[in-house]
Amino acid sequence: MEKENCDKNEEYRPSVIEPKWQKFWEETKSHRAADDSEKPKFYNLDMFPYPSGAGLHVGHFKGYAANDVVARQKRMAGFDVLHPMGWDAFGLPAENYAIKTGIQPEISTNKNIENIKRQMKMAGLSYDWSREINTTDPEYYKWTQWIFLKLFERGLAYESELPINWCPKCLTGLANEEVVGGNCERCGAPVGKKNLRQWVLKITAYADRLLEDLAGLDWPDRIVEMQRNWIGKSEGAEVKFKIKGLEEEINVFTTRPDTLFGCTYIVLAPEHPLVEKLKDKIANRAAVESYVKAAKQKMDLERISDVKDKTGVRFEGITAINPVNGREISVWAADYVLMNYGTGAVMAVPSHDCRDFDFAKKYNLEIIEVIRPESGPAELPYEGGGALVNSGQFDGLDWEEAKSKIIEWLKGRGSARKTVHYKLRDWVFSRQRYWGEPIPLIHCDKCGTVPVPEDQLPLRLPQVEKYQPTGTGESPLAAIADWVNTVCPKCGGAAKRETNTMPQWAGSSWYYLRFLDPANGKELVSKNKEKYWMPVDLYVGGAEHAVLHLLYARFWHKVLFDIGAVSTKEPFQKLRNIGIVLAEDGQKMSKSKGNVVSPDDIVKEFGADTLRVYELFMGPFDQAIAWSTDSVRGSRKFLGRVWHLVLECADNKKSGDEILRKVHKLNQKISGDIEQLKFNTAIAAFMEFLNFAESEKKNVGKDALKRLILLLAPFAPHICEELWRNLGNPESVFAQPWPMADQNLLKEDTIEIIVQINGKMRDKISISADAGEQEAIAIAKDTETIKKWLDRSQIKKTIFVSGRLINFVV
Ligand code: ANZ
Ligand code: ZN
């Protein structure tokens, strides 16, 4: 591979050098991770893709390219790097395609995988392909099924027959996490309710740990916040209200026991069991029954939304007693109270709760102020804090203190206790579709539900003739008699297999573990390899998984921790989200809008290194940014200039002092920027350096060029490998140690400059006194303040006044 003579006039031709070096890296196995190295380990993981028929679009590559820079740089910096890739291949699109064409999902999936793998290789992504996994491979899903059996053994998988979310288009049940704004996360159809026998995972048993362990993670705040809210821990109390003249009591859940003196009525969820029990005592029974029937048809989201008019029905002839003051209050059913939260019953305080207030106004119910802020009586409803008023012996007490005082007092009289409730619900885990992992259970009339013995795993997904979902709540598997009918592993009698399949989230809930030991036929992952590699040091992917994949995987990981299969409490130590790539018009890229940019076209025209450099340069990694083919040309030009600079200056002996100082400064900056995932400022710094070097060509020596190539290699691997060899080096550039900057050469002055948006000052940044335009602009775009201002807007013009200001016109 060595070059004898280097021709100064040779053109930069990515289409020639890129395939050449890709072949070389593959043949020399240079991206393989070792399981037993003396080096420190670094596990950097990309969220593995669904192998869609459309292939990858440029948005996928933004994250992959970024994480690939980290992988390549860490290898050079002396780490044993695990950077694997695989396929999350179960799911509806392949199945829908099978329904349409009759082609087996397996066949179409494999074809898609081949295509995407080709795209990834074409981009020079340095995955260790020897560890490739596919969630639909029986040798893989054997372990997905094994984990299910462990959950089942521990009572964490149970059968239930409650009404669940049902997508009328996908014809399958859905988990709460898959219902987004009332619609199916997959197809967007409005989700309904259906009573269905199903398998449910007890994620609620882990609610506290899922919440507490968030604290130790280096994750984006907004994802942590979303998980926290989804788990929704509320500390409060249950308070008992007696029903006048009857045995029954109403148990309410409240987070505001301090407002008990302001409770003027009680509201039950329409599905509350007391409604049925009190039926005969309710004077207006017919009216109540018809209200309840109508409410049961509605979706939760519709019921609790604040905009809609509250409705309800009063139970004539029934009253409850407020335990704090003995007052008789009315009892209602209203659909703004949900059965599946708290106790399904609410003590209504219209003075301090908006929903109760609206309801009380509508039905003319009493409103008593009981919390008063320091500034005097507030306009009602007032939801803030203050001192108690109209609250008997508790008057004057601060509300926070009153919460526990009132509960203690009621507790002594047997009518209250402290409790905690969660918004998190158990995970509805069965799907009535074909293309998923079979649930390894057998139903026997005599023995009940019996697990498939571990040594019979994998329980293979049989081939069917019809992939159509039946819509009856049974999966297509139910129609295959010779698969369904089996013998009971316990008693040997005739029995039937469970025909539901697992949701698309199953395989991805543990895949990061299989990369550590992909061919292990005896264990999910060997103990040694797990200990060596876990946790994932850097996980890169889209933010859309905030409460789906990322919550499910954490839950399974904790179960695996409890059974001793893994040694860390959490799977993903550091997480970073990629901002999406919008189309040139600022809209979401989509086939129907015809604005999708294909990485194949970009690589064909400009080369993979240009695609990488452009995507890294287009803006802060975590921000949504619009594509611009014009700027792609800019990145291509930049690489061409690097090419010519190296060829032209290759024979210069020594660098001038200023070049030397600048290249060490560049070194310092690039090391720091990669660490902080600030790829855009890194590329800008390369551009600045290049500008300077081109103006001083005779002072650019081989030492500076070598350093420049080493630094640029993780970003633009192919061109750097070629140039490195051109300088007469026999070994791969990636076999070189990551260079360290000479601290003595780094001393420099900094200046402060103003950043404006449309002429208004929004921030100040401190930059190196000799930073040029590109670098200054990149740094400005990357501050938290400016990021917020620029989010999703198009920059029309950028004005740079050296040493003073930058103005973005949007
Ligand atoms: C009295 C009260 C007074 C309340 C007040 C709030 C403000 P979080 O914080 O989300 O847990 N609630 C309880 N169960 C409910 C259900 N099944 N459906 C609808 N609302 C329910 O909310 C807890 C509060 O939501 C509880 O505290 C209860 O109203 C209501 F000034 O009790 B509160
Ligand atoms: Zn049996």
Cβ atoms of 230 and 210 within 8 Å: the answer is no
End-to-end alpha carbon distance in the chain: 49
| Ion ligand 2: residue ranges with CB closer than 5 A | 444, 446-447, 488, 490-491, 493
State pTM to two decimals. Answer: 0.85
Cβ atoms of 75 and 617 within 8 Å: the answer is no
CB atoms within 10 A of CB 504: 25
What was the pLDDT predicted at 1? 44
Residues forming beta bridges with residue 179, ordered by sequence position:
184
What was the pLDDT predicted at 543? 86
Burial of residue 155, with CB atoms counted within 10 A of its CB: 0-12 exposed, 13-18 middle, 19 or more buried: exposed
- Identify the CA nearest to 424 among candidates 120, 122, 204: 204
Quote the distance between the C-alpha of residue 300 and its chain's center: 24
What was the pLDDT predicted at 300? 63
498 vs 491: CA distance, rounded Å? 17
- Which ligand neighbours the alpha carbon of 266 most closely? 1
What was the pLDDT predicted at 733? 98
Cβ atoms of 270 and 332 within 8 Å: the answer is no
381 vs 62: CA distance, rounded Å? 48
Give pLDDT < 50 ranges for the chain.
Answer: 1-4
What was the pLDDT predicted at 308? 64
Instruction: Note the pLDDT tens digit of each residue in 453-480.
Output: 999 999 999 988 888 887 777 888 988 9
What was the pLDDT predicted at 181? 85
Is 371's C-beta closer than 6 angstroms to any atom of ligand 1?
no
- Nearest residue CA, atom 27 of ligand 1? 254
- Identify the CA nearest to 577 among candidates 609, 611, 606, 550: 550
Cβ atoms of 539 and 576 within 8 Å: the answer is yes
Query: Which residue type sits at 402?
Result: A
CB atoms within 10 A of CB 736: 15
In which element (H, E) is residue 261 found?
none
117 vs 113: CA distance, rounded Å? 6
Peptide bond into 451 cis (omega under 30): no
What was the pLDDT predicted at 546? 85
Mutation choice for ligand 1 from 229, 251, 306, 353, CB with most ligand atoms inside 8 A:
353
User: Relative to the CA of 263, which ligand 1 atom is closest?
Assistant: 1
Would you tell me the crossing angle of helices 679-695 and 657-675 to the nearest 10 degrees?
170
Q: What is the SS3 assignment for 63-106?
A: HHHHHHHHHHHHHHCCCEEECCCEECCCCHHHHHHHHHHCCCHH
Is 344's C-beta closer than 6 angstroms to any atom of ligand 1?
yes
DSSP state of 536: B
Is 402's C-beta closer than 6 angstroms to any atom of ligand 1?
no
Is 469's C-beta closer than 6 angstroms to any atom of ligand 1?
no
